[in-house]
Amino acid sequence: YSTGLSTYDALNNKYPVAVCLDCGNLKPVAVALREKYPRLKVLIAGDNDSFGDVNAGKNGAEDAINALTGGAAYVLPDFTTITQADIQSAMLASQGSGEDWGAEKSAKRKQQIERLKNERLAEYQERKPTDFNDLANWLGVSRASKQLENAIEKISLITVEGGKLPRIIKQIENEMIFN
């Protein structure tokens, strides 16, 4: 439930959200939604269960998307990428401490960014976050929002792996999904 609520909030209540409660429900819910709303674009905000032996959230999201043709994508929360905003925040926080960030492309700046990455990775491994609720609570709603919005923008782009085009065309014809 918390992933659905965090996703809805991060997207400023602009999109409807279906809560699946468990990764095993992603595929049946996605298929049911597509059957009821054939032109619906589907984004699955999956859990990134990367700390277990199996990433069930990612696998469930992939299975659900593979059951649909076009107009669908999944996104997992990214906790470790350092953004420009992270760098600027760290630089502001260090003002007055004597910490030197150097010029924009200097070796010193690269060193500081590498330190920032290592600190983030260590905190990630300690917290063990998995979902968009964790992302919003740890790194802010704006981080979750940006990741979700970027994924939504890419939904209309359909990529086709070699050899799968005839099956995909047949399925598109059956589903009548066109923008």
Q: What is the distance between the alpha carbons of residues 95 and 127, in angstroms, rounded to a whole number? A: 27
> Residues 71, 40: contact at Cβ < 8 Å?
yes
Return the minimum-mean-pLDDT range out of 41-45, 69-73, 139-143: 69-73
Instruction: Give the C-alpha distances (Å, rounded to integers) separating 28 from 31, 63, 173.
Output: 5, 10, 21
Return the minimum-mean-pLDDT range out of 71-75, 125-129, 142-146: 71-75
Q: What is the distance between the alpha carbons of residues 150 and 141, in angstroms, rounded to a whole number? A: 14
Q: What is the distance between the alpha carbons of residues 79 and 128, in angstroms, rounded to a whole number? A: 10
Return the minimum-mean-pLDDT range out of 4-18, 53-67, 99-113, 139-153: 99-113
Q: Is residue 39 over pLDDT 90?
A: no
pLDDT band at 61 (very low <50, low <70, confident <90, very high): very high
pLDDT band at 158 (very low <50, low <70, confident <90, very high): low
Instruction: Pick the more confident residue, 30 or 38.
Output: 30
- Residue 100 is predicted with a pLDDT of 80
Question: How many residues does this entry show for the chain?
Answer: 179
The secondary structure of the chain as a DSSP string is -HHHHHHHHHTTT-S-----SSGGGHHHHHHHHHHHSTT--EEEE----TTSSS-HHHHHHHHHHHTS-SSEEEE----SPPPHHHHHHHHHHHTTTT----STTSHHHHHHHHHHHHHHHHHHHHH---SHHHHHHHH-HHHHHHHHHHHHHHTT-----TT-HHHHHHHHHHHT---
- Residue 174 is predicted with a pLDDT of 62
Chain centroid to Cα 96, Å, comes to 36
Return the minimum-mean-pLDDT range out of 56-70, 75-89, 147-161: 147-161
Q: Is residue 143 over pLDDT 70?
A: yes
